[in-house]
Amino acid sequence: MDDVVFKLSDHILEVIFSFLDLPTLRNCALVCKNWYRFLEDENNDVWRGQCLGKLAQEALSSDLLSSVPTYKEKFRAFYHAWNPNDCSRNIYIKPNGFTLHRNPVAQSTDACRGKIGFRHGRHAWEVIWEGPLGTVAVIGIATKEAPLICHGYVALLGSDEHSWGWNLVDNHLLHNGDAQGNYPLLNNAPKYQVGEKIRVILDCDDNTLSFEKNYEFLGVAFRGLPDKRLYPSVSAVYGNTEVSMVYLGPPLDG
């Protein structure tokens, strides 16, 4: 009887798996080679159904997820997107699930973290600033201890020992309340242009944080990161600015 279960056709597996949630699907992939092979097809109708059930049509039909072409990758990115329950009260997550919007509140700096933090492995995600930067616009990482709101217009991300950030306005690296030098280390490094994709690369094995822009590796920004769970993060000051984040998975070297 067990052999019959393991040798079910793809059509039958598709019907059965379409009723299961993500944790159960993960367990199913460990049952046998046949089930693993089926679930490794990242564009099959099981992953398509998961996407259609969870992701807004606005996100699926836009260019926002162009860097994650398969249904399984899009579904995974949704589970790593901005956390609506882990952000400043002046920020809300738009219906597409991937874009935060900062309300126009005077004399406030506001931050948001991703849903999932990392302590092991190598991870990459894209950040797209889709509105004016204002006087301070910082992307990077933070622990759960980092504050999400403060008075004034400041570099909140990087303001203490719990966060590390790159201020896109003046190209300064920030940690523990201090500027850690210019970044990238280029003469007359170009400033960020609204709409450009920045790839953030967190290597928890090497304890480093790096960035890419326009597919060009900009070098290691921070070394010696702590053995703590680190979350994709951003802090903003400009009213009505919007920032999108798409998790990519392990970075592709070279």
Q: What is the pLDDT of residues 158-211, one digit of tens each?
A: 999 999 999 999 999 999 998 888 998 876 778 888 889 999 999 999 999 999
pLDDT recorded at residue 252: 73
CB neighbours (10 Å) of residue 244? 23
Quote the CA–CA distance of 214 and 229 in Å, as a whole number. 28
Work out the pLDDT band at 254, boundaries 50, 70, 90.
very low
Work out the pLDDT band at 92, boundaries 50, 70, 90.
very high
Round the CA-based radius of gyration of the chain to a whole number and report it. 20
pLDDT recorded at residue 253: 62
Does position 2 have pLDDT exceeding 60, yes or no?
no
Work out the pLDDT band at 95, boundaries 50, 70, 90.
very high
Q: What is the mean pLDDT of residues 65-88?
A: 94
Q: What is the pLDDT of residues 125-138, one digit of tens each?
A: 999 999 899 999 99
Quote the CA–CA distance of 248 and 137 in Å, as a whole number. 22
pTM higher than the cut 0.85: yes
Residue by residue, DSSP assigns 93-152 as E-TTSSEEEE---TTEEEEEEES--BSSSEEEEEEEE-S---S-EEEEEE-TTS-SEEES
Q: What is the mean pLDDT of the chain?
A: 91
CB-based contacts of 239, cutoff 8 Å, min separation 6: 102, 103, 104, 105
Exposure class string for 223-239: b at 16+ Cβ within 10 A, else e: eebeebebbbbbbbbbb
Q: What is the pLDDT of residues 131-163, one digit of tens each?
A: 899 999 999 999 999 999 999 999 999 999 999
Q: Are 211 and 251 in contact (CB under 8 A)?
A: no
Quote the CA–CA distance of 27 and 199 in Å, as a whole number. 31
Quote the CA–CA distance of 218 and 212 in Å, as a whole number. 5
Does position 87 have pLDDT exceeding 60, yes or no?
yes
Does position 248 have pLDDT exceeding 60, yes or no?
yes
Work out the pLDDT band at 89, boundaries 50, 70, 90.
very high
